[in-house]
Amino acid sequence: MAGTLRSVQFRREREAGWRRLEELVGRAEKKGLKALSADELFELPQLYRGSLSGLSVARSISLDANVVEYMESLCARAYFVIYAGRQAATKPIQTFFLHRLPSVIRRAWLEIAVAALITLLGTVAGYSLTMQNSNWFYTFVSSQMAQGRSPEASTEDLKAVIDGSKKTTTTPLEIFAVALFAHNAQIGMFAFALGFAFGIPTVWLLFVNGTTLGAFLGLYASRGLGLELGGWLLIHGSTELFAVILCGGAGLAIARSFVFPSLMGRLESLAESGQRAATIVIGAVMMFLVAGLLEGFARQLVSDTTTRYAIACGMLVLWLGYFTLIGRGASNAPVQAQES
């Protein structure tokens, strides 16, 4: 009588397939799908579907708790191996730079514009206050950051910093550049991550960043050195500020999808915008690398103000052109596929 139990018969017929799937999945878990041969890769989804239908049958006819539990775990493991793995793209780096990054940045243009506006407001505030009363400078710029460039310093000293005749730091250029890159990139990631707090810290960070810039401009402008400082700052600043604004825009995009979710609902919309924002941040990290190189090398090597402005404008045009023109049209299909 025992032998005629349906669930026993069912298991006897299917067990070989389950064991085979378990073996393949076990190997793929340890060494990745590369450990499987072409035939085995072909076999895997078939065995998986068979086991999945087996699970449905087992749930409805078998009361053997061990079999049902085993099937649940086997199917989940196979599912993880087959579906839950990372999406493998063809030419991932090329797709990222030529389609994904610029198109994602274009989609967040409103948040990026708002981030730029906040930075501008901060700069104007810092500039006008410092112009009125140079004591405001100390409010916006810490002494550690000023490195002697304060209202107390003589105009000659201030000038010496920007034309490169006086070194602000004794560390060699390479270290300076790399340390700046790492520091700025982390600030950028911060601006992104803080978007989670409804964007309030992001707005604050962007504004403060603007006031510091404005305070320096105000100090130098009050000594008639505004134009020279502009060149000194913007040679890397056009890239660096742009990257900070992109990160801020990414943070604001997260906040926006959380406070004003789309039709998908709050969590889904947060997840979707979070992934896009992360893409922007990775783009910005690479911009910080470029900015660090410009700041560490180009600024110290090029001391002519006109050339500095030319490099600054050139970089800005380059970035704007890249983000607005590249990957239009044909980009839609792969981007949609990645986001789904």
Partner 1 sequence: MRLFKRKNPKPPVRRGPSGRVARDLVTPEGVALTIQLADIGERAGALMLDLFFMAVAMVAMTIGIIVFGGVIRSPFAAMVGAILLMFLLRSFYFTLFEIRWQGQTPGKRIMHLLVINRSGGRLTTDAILARNLMREVEIFLPLSLLGLAGAAGGSAGWTVLSAIVWVGILVLLPFFNRDKLRAGDLIAGTIVVHKPKALLVADLAGAEARGVEPRAAQPRYHFTQAQLDVYGIYELQTLESLLRRGKLGGSENLVVVAERIARKIKWTGNEFRTDSFNFLNDYYVALRSRLEGQMLMGRRRESKHDAA
Residues 264-323 that bind partner 1 (CB under 8 A): 265-268, 270-279, 281-282, 285
The token pair at 218 is 């105000």
**Residue (6 or 166) nearer to partner 1, CB:** 6
Judged by CB under 8 A, the residue of 37, 38, 66, 144 near partner 1 is 66
Cα→Cα distances 202→114, 255, 257, Å: 11, 9, 15
Q: Which stretch binds partner 1 (CB under 8 A): 77-85, 223-231, 310-318, 321-329?
A: 77-85
Nearer to partner 1, 85 or 321 (CB): 85
Specify the residue, 22 or 40, whose C-beta has the smaller distance to partner 1: 22
| Element (DSSP H or E) covering residue 242 | helix 226-259
Find the part of the chain contacting partner 1 (CB under 8 A) among 153-161, 184-192, 212-220, 302-310: 184-192
Of the candidate residues 1, 38, 301, 330, the single one contacting partner 1 (CB under 8 A)? 1
- Which residue do the tokens 């911009």 mark? 287
Segment 100 to 139, residues that bind partner 1, using CB under 8 A: none
> Cα(177)–Cα(175) distance, rounded to whole angstroms?
5
CA distance 324 to 248: 18
Question: What's the closest the beta carbon of residue 125 comes to partner 1, in angstroms?
Answer: 20
Contact stretch for partner 1 (CB under 8 A) within 144-152, 180-188, 211-219, 311-319: 180-188
What's the min distance (Å) between Cβ of 25 and partner 1? 10
Q: Which of 35, 46, 49, 286 binds partner 1 (CB under 8 A)?
A: 49
Q: Name 230's Cβ contacts closer than 8 Å, sequence gap at least 6.
A: 217, 309
Residue 148 interacts with partner 1 (CB under 8 A)? no
How big is the site for partner 1, counted in residues (CB under 8 A)?
81
Separation CA 129–CA 218 (nearest Å): 8
Contact 184, 92 (CB under 8 A): no
In angstroms, the CA 252 to CA 258 distance is 10
Specify the residue, 36 or 185, whose C-beta has the smaller distance to partner 1: 185
| Helix or strand holding residue 278 (H, E) | helix 266-293
Candidates 13, 35, 92, 227: give the one binding partner 1 (CB under 8 A): 92
Residue 192, burial from CB neighbour count under 10 angstroms (0-12, 13-18, 19+): buried
